[in-house]
Structure formats: structure tokens, C-alpha cells
Amino acid sequence: MKEIALIGSTGSIGTQTLDVIRQHQDRFRVRLLACGTNIERLKQQIAEFHPEVVVIRDEKDLIKLEAHLPTGTKAVAGETALLEEIAKTNASFVMNAIVGSQGLKPTMAAIKAGKTIGIANKETLVTAGHLVTEACNHYGAQLIAVDSEHSAILQSLEGSKREEISRLIVTASGGSFRDWSAEELQHARPEDALKHPNWSMGQKVTIDSATMMNKGLEVIEAHWLFNMPYESIDVLIHRESIIHSLVEYQDKSMIAQLGTPDMKVAIQYALAYPDRLELNGPERLNLWEVGTLHFEKIDPLKHQCLMMAYQAGKTGGSAPTVLNAANEVAVQMFLEGKLTFTGIATVVEKALSEHTVIDHPSIEKVLEIDEETRTRMMTG
């Protein structure tokens, strides 16, 4: 029985994680649930999974939970309480499914407690990959990728030696606007961007898919997860999202992980690692039904956000922190109708150009730069 702490339980990854746990109640038990403000969904989760601890964002919402806590379940609120409960919980596995840079502190708390962390929060490694990997080595913690692309790489690396690997190839669907011209993108609306052709994801991730920033963040994440130089990480557009990523070896052979698009496959692989379990839900992949798989090169002119992410990753230091923070603000501005779709890349580039890079920032400095970037963008 593996005991689980789930941070971000009411979001897309969080609810799918509980779907997996629901199928394997003989293998997994929920010890801790944490979420932001979706109290109604949290009530349902508490009633079903009876966690020992529930953590919410705002103390004022605790009263809404009082009548819904089973015997043996306590509820606390705030970031400090979350970090304390992560350190104290008996759960050996922490699934970090928070979207955004706010996932950094919970990840570091889990690392310092020596937990195994399912890292669905890519911003943690993007903003502070140098600190996270150093801490994992020091405290003996383990990161297991949950993004479908990184899970595919992990699966394709099984049994291999680091010196045998030549290249990682991260696949991308191309997002909602893969067939739009540059002129059409000038008039793209949020409702258009949120119609992802292959995957069901949250709003922010879906917009990042449309700009291809998500692939840029995944490249930076892959650099830290698999200790690969950026020159050895490529991105390939693959419309069908059947091949989730590939690994090329020094003999030029490739190993890939294939499957129908379903995040629960990657989530379950992380939860059960190194075992594989039966999973209900994903459709069986019959390649004769797919017929043809398509592949396209990246267009540097159209995929400016991806190119900026590569550059920020190679620059290192605080540059990826600025990239991520600026992108989060820009995406929210686009969703609120305050910025055009093409304006996302423009304002992110401006934020990077105005920043003086710090080579090896501390976690306090990372968070300070993150906040400064957001404040500067929101105040004009």
C-alpha cells in the first residue's frame, strides 16, 4: 500500500490522479489532499477518500469544511500549514499537481522530507532546476516525471546507461493553432486557443500549447530531469499525439513510447513506478486504425515562445524564472482579453530583455525575481 499526498487535488491532474487511485484502492491510499478554492469539489473528495489532512488556501474557507470532515480528518489553511503537513505526512509519494510557480515551495518541502515526488508542476524545474536537483541529491529524494512527454522519455530510458543516449526528442501536437497562418493568429481569441485538438488540459496549459511555450518549458524540464544539454533535446511536431516522445541512442536507433492521448497513463506510471498496473479508460491503440503518423519540423518564426525558452534555458541562472513568470502573466492577460495572442511572445521577450541575469540564484532570490517580474508586467 503506497500512501499518497496530493497537492492540487481539484485541478485537471489532481482529479485524474484520484481516478487512478480509485481504480487501485488496494495499492494506494490518500493521506493528504490540498487545493486552492474549489471547496465544493474538495468536499466530494474528502467524503470518498477520507484523508488524514486537508489543506486549503484561505483560512476563511475552513468553516465551509467543518461539517464535512470525517472522524480522523483535520483541515488547515495557508502555505505555511501546507509545507508543515508535507514534511509531517506519512505519505511516501507526493503528487505536485499545482499549476504555476507556486508549486516550488511544496516541491522543496517534499524533497527535504526525502519523499518521492510526482512532478506534474513543470514550473518548479523551470524556475529553480539547479536548486531542485541539488536538493534531491542532498536529501535522497526522487523526482518522477508526470508530463506525458517526460514520462515517455523515462519509459524509453528504462535499462539504458546515460553514456548510451544521444538525443531526446520531445513531441508536440502543435496546439490549437497549428494550421493557422501568422495573419490569422493576429485575430485569435481565447475560446479558439482553448480548443485543443488532442488533449484535455487546464486553461493555462492549453494556451501554452497554442503558443508552444509548453514545449519550451518541457525542454528546460527535460534538461534537469535527464541531465541532457539543450543541444541534445529536440522538439518535433506530431499531430496525432500517438508517439509521446523518443530517445535516440548512440547507435542511431530510437526507442519511443506510444499510446492514445490520456494523461492517466503517465500519472499511473509515476504512482506505481517501477511497476505497471492495469488501467481502465484509455482506448487501446490499434495502429492500423490510425493509418498514418505525421511529423513536422519546428518553425522558428511561428514558434517564437519555444525559441525564447531554448535561449533562456541555455542562458540559465534567473532567465528561466523570468520567462515563466512573464508567460504566466501574459497568458492571464490574454484570457482576460487584455492582450492579443501574438502579444504573449512580445511581452515575454520584453521581460527577458529588461532583466539582468543572476547566475545561481537562491530560492529566496528566485521567488523575489518571480514576484518582481509579475509586478512589473501588471503595472505596465
Into how many domains does the chain fold? 2
pLDDT at residue 121, as a whole number? 85
Q: Which residues are annotated as a binding site for 1-deoxy-D-xylulose 5-phosphate?
A: 122, 148-149, 173, 196, 209, 214-215, 218
Q: Give the whole-number percent of the chain exceeding pLDDT 70.
A: 98
Same domain, 208 and 233: yes
Q: Which domain holds residue 68?
A: 2-145
Region 70-81 average pLDDT: 96
Query: Which parts are annotated binding residues for Mn(2+)?
Result: 147, 149, 218
Question: Does some domain include residue 239?
Answer: yes
Domain shared by 74 and 174, yes or no = no
Show binding-site residues: 10-13, 36, 38, 121-123, 147-149, 173, 196, 202, 209, 214-215, 218
Structural domain contains residue 331: no
Are 246 and 196 within one domain? yes
Please indicate, yes or no, if residue 367 is contained in any of the structural domains. no
- Residue 1: all three cell numbers together: 500500500
**pLDDT tens by residue, 299-353:** 888 899 999 999 999 999 999 999 999 999 999 999 999 999 999 999 999 999 9
218 and 297 part of one domain:
yes
Residue 273 within any structural domain of the chain = no
pLDDT reading at 249 higher than 70 = yes
Hey, what amino acid is at 72?
G
Which amino acids are annotated as binding site for NADPH, given as ranges? 10-13, 36, 38, 121, 123, 202
163-167, 192-196, 361-365, range with the lowest pLDDT: 192-196
Query: How far is the C-alpha of 191 from the C-alpha of 187, rounded, in Å?
Result: 12
Question: If pLDDT is split at 50, 70 and 90, which confidence band does 380 have?
Answer: low
Residue 199 has pLDDT above 60, yes or no: no
Q: Are residues 15 and 47 in the same domain?
A: yes
| Residue 196 pLDDT level (bands cut at 50, 70, 90) | low
Q: What is the pLDDT of residue 202?
A: 66
Burial of 344 (0-12, 13-18, 19+ CB in 10 A): buried
Confidence of residue 362 (pLDDT cuts 50, 70, 90): very high
Q: What is the grid cell recorded at 268?
A: 499511473
* 181 lies in the same domain as 236: yes
Same structural domain, 302 and 164: yes
Beta bridge partners of 34: 7, 55
Where among 295, 315, 335 does a domain terminate?
315
Shared domain check, 302 and 164: yes
